[in-house]
Structure 1
């Protein structure tokens, strides 16, 4: 059977069923007893050191900026040029087109050397630029969270290392002008000051998920939401998952969004490091605890989701007493993969050397330009 025929049979066979894929460790140099498929290990490739307080973003092809290539399952430390940020612990990062936007964070000495600039890295050209913003910048903070809605960057909360914030700022990415938003609420109706929370949005409201201070973590049975149209903070009452109830209060967790569903995993509740995975629907505010869980509890880790709905989780603190950090990488499908993604994963397992073929060879085998781009 030739390669093209085998590929066609693989595609046809993948139509039989779609299934949930449980979380599995796909790279762990510190766990020699764990069986790792050979294609996940490549000679001569370095891996990122264990770390915490970092962020990652994803497209269909890679995690960034320590680049993990999904097809070959190899790490590459991307060499960039330009004005790179130095306050990178507990910064915020979002993907906007081909651009990675980074704001805030702290550097050595931590809590005393904070940032409030917006750095932009074009991941295609691997070059950093400092965004020349107008207006009054937010305070120099770390542990804040941010989202992009309709061409504007919204930043909420964070800490200077001494004080925690409830400030909400907006940066218009077209005019590059900062504005501090002043909600119409009475001061007693504002969200509690916090850091290491996460944000989600539905286009009209920005939702705060968890977070806390060094002494406490905030619950998730009620969620503060900022209404962009009315300029008011609202309190949304969420629905428990049957007898299981609500997710535990937490900070330093990770969060990704897939359409109207928001997923949180891990974190720290003041006593325990968590490993659970929950989702909340932003239309019904119903919490659901998912069966999949992180293979090891972690907080101060990072997570990103691909456009197809596969979440990757990396690093974090896994032992609070020894302050031990992890360099492990996991993935879990948050949605049932569509036929294309099922076919693609089956194809890569069946033909692990596809990435070594030329573009002409891949075209002759029937792959589209979009899939070929994932291989490069």
Structure 2
């Protein structure tokens, strides 16, 4: 076989492979992207082999050696531009870190942090000293502090520090905490814990509280000692006193009179009001038709009256649920009821609800969690849900990771994933260093590889993946030719995903719509028609 014929054969093989991957990525509508149950990354906790050392995993067309976090509940989650973080939790898995622990009971508390690469779908355990972790790593309150707001833009920020309050050892309620810990990200990309020096009206030792940052002040609401439940509201801010070290001061703002004491509730900020969503105790859970709120301007409690879904009414009252705020809407996922005294078991939920903070009307979304669960965690933007308890007596846990898109992903996200899928072996050794916030690194490597192949085989990659990016304005379509994988600004609504003989694949995205188009390669972007209409 001649060199030219060999090159042509390789080119046809690669093009066929790229097209199959492109078709797999492009020919999917939002109904398959949006449901939680359609985007599962890990096996359930019932599969013990899934976390016995290293296992082979396939994701985004890439094979890599990967370990996964153990099944757990009572953990907390953080998410920035590049990673999803899972912090602490409780696990009764036989693979818990008994060999690192002081006792069998303490080994069930997971003193560890895992992060999930949102671009490569890869888990990685953060390298931290076990002895540096706080003792109380279950049902603590956690709040992410960002150097700037997270966004879907390429320049989105990664977090610099996160705050943790309270928590409990095991058995639950044994030695709860009243300390505030800071998880700091240091310049070498590692992390360390630091206890915050506090003074003032210190809260009691408790767990299951909720904390939230607003205008530079940390607010603490509710919690339990394991026996006594409260709805006290405190603030924590930097002290005005001049000292050699940073000191923060606690202030009691409200004693919670008029509110039933609760734990495992969630809090979100709307304007200057902190909404207290759900929560409860062993015998009672808060309803969701009326939502109590704390006005940070007047330091007084108030109530928001909500409107039911026209078909499904109000969501059931619950605690131990996940809650996310995004674009003027509040989402609640899963959770559980109070414990039934006869069965000594709680009812678990798998539903997903949306509360519009403009109309204050509830809407039940046409999707559900893969499994009914509580004590799980979720993050904002694209909602990620990890782990949780699977039965009403809280004995069975999972390490299931699910996600739900609140809006179609950005085209840059699709572009990066498509490049990874089309050249898996090129990137498999550097997956840890590839992130969503640094697309140029990924594209430069692919572009360099392409140029090398062009020098070797001539036009080996001519007209291949991502040579042009297309942008669209309402009522018109404009083409922006971007050699070298740079992206036009503002973010495009249409992007080229590669050739199919004499046609190209275009993806079009609007709010909650997702369509695939085909058009002649020599008439881009004229005469765009929906895919399959020819």
Partner of 2:183: 121
Q: How does 1:43-58 map to 2 (within 5 A)?
A: 44-58=65-79
Q: Which runs of 5+ in 1 are unaligned?
A: 370-376
The answer to whether structure 1 residue 304 and structure 2 residue 366 are counterparts is no
Instruction: Summarize the Cα distance change of 1:29–1:241 in structure 2 as closer, same or farther, 3 Å threshold.
Output: closer
Instruction: Summarize the Cα distance change of 1:326–1:30 in structure 2 as closer, same or farther, 3 Å threshold.
Output: closer
TM superposition shift of 1:159: 0.1
Worse-matched range after superposition: 172-181 or 146-155? 172-181
Q: Is the 8 A contact 2:200 2:251 kept in 1?
A: no
1:302-356 deviation line (CA, Å, top 9, x unaligned): 1112xxx211111111022471111111111122333333444444444445464
C-alpha RMSD over aligned residues: 3.2
3-state SS of the aligned residue for 1:340? Answer: helix
- Among candidates 225, 230, 235, match of residue 303 of structure 2: 235
Partner of 1:372: none
Instruction: Summarize the Cα distance change of 1:352–1:210 in structure 2 as closer, same or farther, 3 Å threshold.
Output: farther
TM-score (norm. length: structure 2): 0.61
3-state SS of the aligned residue for 2:59? Answer: helix
3-state SS of the aligned residue for 2:413? Answer: helix
Partner of 1:320: 392
Q: Which runs of 5+ in 2 are unaligned?
A: 1-10, 48-55, 86-112, 147-159, 241-246, 339-345, 434-439, 448-483, 488-534
Partner of 2:214: 149
TM superposition shift of 1:173: 4.9
- Among candidates 331, 335, 338, match of residue 403 of structure 2: 331
TM superposition shift of 1:113: 0.7
CA distance in structure 2 between the aligned counterparts of 1:151 and 1:230, rounded to whole angstroms: 17
Q: How does 1:77-116 map to 2 (within 5 A)?
A: 77-81=125-129, 83-97=132-146, 98-116=160-178
The answer to whether structure 1 residue 39 and structure 2 residue 59 are counterparts is yes
Q: Is the 8 A contact 2:416 2:442 kept in 1?
A: no
CA distance in structure 2 between the aligned counterparts of 1:173 and 1:242, rounded to whole angstroms: 46
Number of positions where the alignment pairs a residue of Structure 1 with one of Structure 2: 357
CA distance in structure 2 between the aligned counterparts of 1:15 and 1:25, rounded to whole angstroms: 19
The answer to whether structure 1 residue 26 and structure 2 residue 41 are counterparts is yes
Worse-matched range after superposition: 315-324 or 55-64? 315-324
Instruction: Summarize the Cα distance change of 1:238–1:360 in structure 2 as closer, same or farther, 3 Å threshold.
Output: closer
Instruction: Summarize the Cα distance change of 1:226–1:28 in structure 2 as closer, same or farther, 3 Å threshold.
Output: same
Q: Which has the larger radius of gyration?
A: 2
- Among candidates 247, 250, 261, match of residue 179 of structure 1: 250
Instruction: Summarize the Cα distance change of 1:304–1:110 in structure 2 as closer, same or farther, 3 Å threshold.
Output: same
Q: How does 1:355-370 map to 2 (within 5 A)?
A: 356=429, 362-363=443-444, 365=447, 366=484
The answer to whether structure 1 residue 292 and structure 2 residue 363 are counterparts is no
- The higher-RCO structure (CA 8 Å, 6+ apart) is 1
Partner of 2:499: none
1:223-265 deviation line (CA, Å, top 9, x unaligned): 0011111221001100111021011110111111113211110
